[in-house]
């Protein structure tokens, strides 16, 4: 069984699983089982991201809504929303990962898989969150 090669692939896999759950309504366990049937395992980092986002989704969505300036997390496309959730979870709960890395990875995912201007929205939301966090830490 193959697993993601590194954290970049694990982030992508976490976003895909969370997106699939939002769009299909299927439980994560069933989505993971489907991956196993296709020969793909869920690695530990992917699992940690998915679990962390799942536990804190309402909190993460509130942060997204506060930083989105006129948007709510619910109004965002499911893919963009889950990219933001994964990045915010990393920024808040993984102190060994620099926030700039989480933001850059989210923007890269958005550029690759979303509409042509979506990366600006994702970068803006995450940048506002990080600026507020940095301001409150000083």
Q: How confident is the model at residue 5 (pLDDT cuts 50, 70, 90)?
A: low
Residue 4 has pLDDT above 60, yes or no: no
Spatial distance between the Cα atoms of 18 and 78, rounded to a whole number of angstroms: 9
pLDDT at 19 (0 to 100)? 97
Residue 78's alpha-carbon distances to 15, 35, 70, 85, 135, in angstroms, are 10, 20, 17, 10, 29
86-130, pLDDT tens digit by residue? Answer: 999 999 999 999 999 999 999 999 999 999 999 999 999 999 999
Q: In the CATH scheme, what is the code of domain 7-137? A: 1.10.940.10
Q: How much is the pLDDT for 130?
A: 97
Q: What are the extents of the domains in the chain?
A: 7-137
């Amino acid at each position: 069984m193959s697993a993601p090669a590194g954290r970049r692939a694990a982030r992508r896999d976490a976003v895909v699983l969370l997106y699939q759950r939002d769009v299909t309504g299927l439980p994560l366990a069933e989505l993971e089982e489907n991956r196993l049937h296709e020969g793909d395992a869920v690695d530990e980092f992917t699992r940690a991201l998915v679990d962390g986002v799942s536990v804190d989704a309402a909190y993460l969505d509130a942060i997204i809504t506060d930083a989105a300036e006129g948007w709510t997390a619910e109004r965002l496309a499911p893919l963009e929303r889950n990219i933001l959730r994964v990045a915010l979870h990393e920024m808040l709960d993984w102190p060994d990962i620099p926030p700039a890395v989480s933001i850059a990875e989210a923007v890269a995912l958005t550029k690759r898989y979303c509409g042509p201007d979506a990366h600006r929205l994702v970068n803006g939301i995450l940048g506002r969150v990080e600026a507020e966090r940095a301001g409150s830490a000083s």
